Structure 1
Amino acid sequence: MGIFDIIGPVMIGPSSSHTAGAARIGLLAHYILKEQAINAAITFFGSFAKTYRGHGTDKAVIAGILGYSADDPAIRKAFHLAEEKNMNVQIYTSEAESPHPNTVQINLTSINGKLLSLIGVSLGGGRVSIRQINGFECDVSGESYTLLSVYDDQSGVVSLVSSFLAKESINISQMRVFRKGKHQQAVMIIDTDSRVSDTVVQKISLLPIMKSVIAIDPI
């Protein structure tokens, strides 16, 4: 158990799960999209759906999508900031089964037409996990430097990407691969001890098999 499990994170709002965690999920969506969002459809499940107004969960998610952290007072005026930045927001609730009581689905459209759909869960103490990105099962915590690659599944991809990182002396701390099926699209999530530079991301992106390559810094 860490210190944040005991006292919780520095944050704006009444709940580490419903406010700080929600803001972190929104912020991860912001970093994964990497473009200004002009439309955000946010669906709350479970406990989030029942208490989001009182705990400011909606404001926290919106602020995160706009790039604000969990301890930023801007969370309080998130709807106003979204309006200022011409981001249309729709809030929904669902009674459908979800992977965790504190679950949110975020569907974003960027200013350049890029689409992102993710499902995130708030685990308590400000800790979160992104469980799905564009239909792919995954597990992204935002607690470490992370390289996320979507590609066509085939042999040699893991070693090829690993070699790019090794040439830059970037050490891999953890790796997970999720795929829809053999030789179908797959997602590789690599946690590293140091930041993956834009240059490395671009080199990996140029591989013909790659659909998307995103580097995420800790938040």
Structure 2
Amino acid sequence: MIRFEDVCYAYDGRPVLRHADFTIAQGEATALSGPNGAGKSTLLRILNGLIFPEVGHYRFRGVEITAAKMREHRYAKAFHQQIGFVWQNPDIQLFCGSVAEELAFGPEQMGLPADEIKRRVEDALEFAGIAHLRERAPYTLSGGEKKKTAIASILTMNPAVWTLDEPLSALDEKSQQWLIEFLLALKKSGKTLIFSTHDGNLARHLADQEIRLDATHSCAVSRYA
């Protein structure tokens, strides 16, 4: 489903990803681990077609993802319907006037019927336990409420692939347990999960494989038994 072939990336000539080479099969859960600054967030941005390899190739379902490909409006729209990104800082992700509008935005862009959009929004509000926040502006929420809103906004789009940057950050213990159970349910339903984490227990509990990035910005892949 996802193939990185010798992918390298640098910011202003400073390498942040060196020769990343791995495959992620449909339905697999993959943990990205390593110290801060090792390239985990960069790798997630490449996966989501926000930046592109300077060397090497990234293929999604057999299609090479390049800047030129993502300028094809029809393809880019279809691509972003298949892969969702939950940012580490939800303030980057949330921009609508209310929580309900935030959850409806993605399905609206997909062109879904109004009754289907309403159903998805209501289901996601209830599932995330944020129905009481539906009319609140996202900027007025707590960190944990913002994270749940960001997750629910991806849930309404129902992507095949979920990418998450440090998903447990800004959540209290109860909310962390809710999210772990949610991710396990996604995996059980056949979704592909790719998440960065400093939590080794989360990686071992959820992931089928680990991609470890080190201080030299190279990566090693290991599979869990």
Q: Which has more helix, going by share of residues?
A: 2
TM exceeding 0.5: no
Q: Which has more strand, going by share of residues?
A: 1
Give the TM-score normalised by structure 2: 0.29
Select the structure with the greater relative contact order (CA < 8 A; seq sep ≥ 6): 2
